[in-house]
A and B are shown apart, each in its own frame.
Chain A
Amino acid sequence: MTKPEAIHAAPARPNTDLPQLYRTMRRIRTFEERVGELFVRGQSAGSMLHLSIGEESAAAGFCAHMQDGDTFTTHHRGHGIFLARGADPNRMMAEIGGKEAGYCHGKGGSMHIADMGLGHLGANAIVGGGIPAIIGAGLAARHHGTGKISVAFFGDGATGQGILYESMNMAALWRLPCVFVCINNQYGMGTRIDQATANAVLHERAHAFGLVAETVDGLDVEAVAEAAERLVAGAREGRPAFLVVDCYRFYGHARKDKSPYRDATEEETGRQKDPVAFARAALLERGLADAAELDALDAQIDAEMDATIDFTVAQTEPPLSTMFRDVYAPEEPEPEPVRVRIDRILARA
Chain B
Amino acid sequence: MALQELTYRDALRQALIDSMRENPDVIIMGEEVGRYGGAYAVTKELIKEFGAERVIDTPISEPAIIGAAVGAAMAGLRPVAELMYVDFIGMTMDQLGNQAAKIRYMFGGQIGVPMVLRTQGGTGRSAGAQHSQSLEAYVMHTPGLRLAMPATVSDAYHLLRMALTKPDPVVFIEHKALYTMKETVDLDAEPLAWGKSAVRREGKDLVIVTYSRQLHYVMEAAKKLSADGIEATVIDLRTLNPLDFDTIREHVERAGRAMVVSESVMTAGVAAELSARITEECFDYLEDPVVRVAGEDIPISVSTALETGSVPGPQLILETARKLLGARVAA
Contact = CB atoms under 8 A, between A and B. Distances in A.
A133 B99 contact: yes
A141 interface: yes
Contacts of A139: 27, 29, 56, 68, 71-72, 75, 77
A326 B107 CA distance: 9
B53 interface: yes
B74 A136 contact: yes
Interface stretch (B133-141, B175-183, B264-272, B277-285): B277-285
Contacts of B95: 129, 132, 163
In this complex, which of B29, B63, B77 has the most chain A Cβ atoms within 10 angstroms of its Cβ?
B63
A136 B72 contact: yes
Contact of B68 (A71, A105, A126, A132): A132
B61 A170 contact: yes
Interface in A134-167: 134-144, 150, 162-163, 166-167
B106 A108 contact: yes
A140 B77 contact: yes
B144 A328 contact: yes
Given A104-B107, A170-B68, A126 B98 contact: yes
Interface string A119-131: 0011010100111
Contacts of B67: 129, 131-133, 135-136, 163, 167
B111 A116 contact: yes
Given A116-B111, A141-B75, A348-B283, A136 B106 contact: no
B94 interface: yes
Interface stretch (A236-244, A268-276, A330-338): A330-338
Contacts of B27: 139, 143
Nearest to B73: A136
A63 to B, nearest CB: 19
A327 B143 contact: yes
Contacts of B198: none
Interface in B231-260: 242
Contacts of B111: 114, 116
A115 B25 CA distance: 22
Contact of B112 (A102, A167, A329): A329
B79 interface: yes
A333 B143 CA distance: 13
B229 interface: no
Contact of A140 (B63, B75, B103): B75
Interface residues of B, number: 49
A218 B207 CA distance: 67
A344 to B, nearest CB: 8
A106 B108 CA distance: 7
B109 A330 contact: yes
Contacts of A143: 25, 27, 53, 77
B106 A144 contact: no
A179 B95 CA distance: 20
A141 B281 CA distance: 49
Interface string B79-115: 1000000000000001100110011111111111000
B167 A150 contact: no
Interface in B126-161: 143-144, 146
B108 A108 contact: yes
A112 B76 contact: no
B69 A136 contact: yes
Contact of A133 (B70, B105, B143, B284): B70
A140 to B, nearest CB: 3
B106 A112 contact: yes
Nearest to B146: A328
A114 B110 CA distance: 8
Contact of A107 (B53, B71, B106, B112): B106
Nearest to A123: B106
B75 to A, nearest CB: 3
A335 B241 CA distance: 11
B34 to A, nearest CB: 13
Nearest to A106: B108
Contacts of B72: 135-137, 139-140
A345 B284 CA distance: 10
A345 B282 CA distance: 9
Contacts of B168: 328-329, 332
Nearest to B70: A133
In this complex, which of A103, A130, A132, A135 has the most chain B Cβ atoms within 10 angstroms of its Cβ?
A132
Contacts of A121: 71, 74-75
Interface of B: 25, 27, 29, 53, 56, 58-59, 61, 63-64, 66-77, 79, 94-95, 98-99, 102-112, 143-144, 146, 166-168, 242, 280-281, 283-284
14 contacts: A104-B108, A115-B110, A124-B99, A133-B67, A133-B70, A133-B99, A136-B70, A136-B71, A139-B75, A140-B77, A141-B75, A167-B67, A170-B58, A327-B143
Interface of A: 71, 73, 102-108, 112, 114-116, 121-122, 124, 126, 129-144, 150, 162-163, 166-167, 169-170, 173-174, 325-333, 335, 345, 348-349
Pairs of residues from A and B, 5 with the lowest C-beta to C-beta distance, nearest first: A132-B67, A136-B71, A133-B71, A136-B72, A140-B75
